[in-house]
Amino acid sequence: MAYKERTKPRLLCIYEALAKRMKLSPDDHYYLLHMDGGFGGELGLDVHTDALDSSCLVLNDLQLRHNRCSFQIDTLVICPDKLLLCEAKNYKGVHTWGQLTFRKPSGATLENPSIQLRRTQARLTVLLTDLKIEMPIEAYVVYTNPEFTLLGAQENADYLLPSQIPDYFQKLQVRGEIGPEQQRLADTLIRMHNPRYFAEELPTIEYRKLRKDLFCLACGSAVRHDGIKSVYCPVCQKRERTTKTIVHNIEEFRLLFPSEKVTTPRMADWCGMENKDRVYRVLCNSYRAVGKGHGRHYV
């Protein structure tokens, strides 16, 4: 088990919630797919790091700021004798390697991920120096998608191709046990982690333009009421408790409108439910009431 678990990025959750309730612009839709693919690549890396023994501390998804420089670490494995810095990429298809850029068969180019890796490694090195911690850093771009091919790449470079990943982690040699210095580093980095360092510009969110309905927890499609206690998704054909589905949709409202008050009328409208009493009972059982009368809301 990782010392710091990976969670779905807040920005990805916001875009997923919006995609259910409005038509995203082509740019926003592409950005959602890009974020979802990146998160999938990170989860692919977790399969291998989760199998490491207790002589390592695995920290996932660190978002740090030091000396006014922000940087993100997909995975950092703290070993007794070194640090393993991993930048996960979920690229698919054929890419041709270049020192500065990768080129796709279509002619499209993208930045060589090794550039980002070296920048992150440099900033981590500065942070370690200021923390008075001396540990070597071994850094790799890890290409997790089995359908990725890289042509013309340099040998012994700072990357792991899909076919190399299992063997690398199986043969990863860890000497010694985690000591106080490594533990101090892990706890310090977790305290420094702040996901809001990377708060990016969101699309315009207008409540009146969003679809009001209950959406499936599994696939995000609109659900149908299946009796009193459950709802049914006609797309993925899954059933779920109505209460759980209402709470999930209320949490999406809080995610999209963090400064808005959660009230019974507003949540009934948000969930597309005429039965306000059902929404009221869910709010009373799952949240704490603040205020009285028309000013009552839930936190």
Give pLDDT tens digits for 247-290: 999 999 999 999 999 999 999 999 999 989 999 999 999 999 99
Weakest-pLDDT range from 6-10, 146-150, 173-177, 208-212: 173-177
| pLDDT band, very low/low/confident/very high, at 201 (cuts 50, 70, 90) | low
Q: What pLDDT does residue 74 have?
A: 97
Pair (228, 194) in one structural domain: no
Is position 287 within any domain? Answer: yes
Residues 63-108 pLDDT 10s: 999 998 889 999 999 999 999 999 999 999 999 999 999 999 999 9
Pair (256, 171) in one structural domain: no
d(Cα 245, Cα 242) in Å, to the nearest integer? 5
d(Cα 257, Cα 250) in Å, to the nearest integer? 10
Domain coverage including residue 259: 212-298
Is position 206 within any domain? Answer: no
Is position 5 within any domain? Answer: no
d(Cα 161, Cα 164) in Å, to the nearest integer? 5
Pair (133, 245) in one structural domain: no
Pair (185, 220) in one structural domain: no
Pair (257, 229) in one structural domain: yes
Pair (220, 177) in one structural domain: no
Q: Over 60: is that where the pLDDT of 162 sits?
A: yes
Pair (106, 192) in one structural domain: yes
Q: What pLDDT does residue 199 have?
A: 55
Region 122-127 average pLDDT: 97
| pLDDT band, very low/low/confident/very high, at 40 (cuts 50, 70, 90) | very high
| pLDDT band, very low/low/confident/very high, at 200 (cuts 50, 70, 90) | low
Q: What pLDDT does residue 293 have?
A: 82
Is position 205 within any domain? Answer: no
Residue at token pair 């039965």: 275
Chosen domain end from 198, 224, 239: 198
Residues 175-191 pLDDT 10s: 788 999 999 999 999 99
Chosen domain end from 148, 173, 198: 198
DSSP classification of residue 213: S
Region 54-70 average pLDDT: 92
Is position 3 within any domain? Answer: no
Pair (69, 20) in one structural domain: yes
Pair (58, 155) in one structural domain: yes
Q: How many domains does the chain have?
A: 2
Is position 107 within any domain? Answer: yes
Residues 144-160 pLDDT 10s: 999 999 999 887 789 99
Q: What pLDDT does residue 172 have?
A: 86
Pair (167, 230) in one structural domain: no
Chosen domain end from 171, 198, 225: 198
Indicate the pairing of strand 69-78 with strand 230-232: unpaired
Buried/exposed code over 220-259 (b: 16+ C-beta within 10 A; e: otherwise):
bebbeeeeeeebebeeeeeebebbebbbebbebbeebeee
Mean pLDDT score of the chain: 93
Pair (183, 219) in one structural domain: no
Pair (183, 216) in one structural domain: no
Q: What pLDDT does residue 55 have?
A: 87
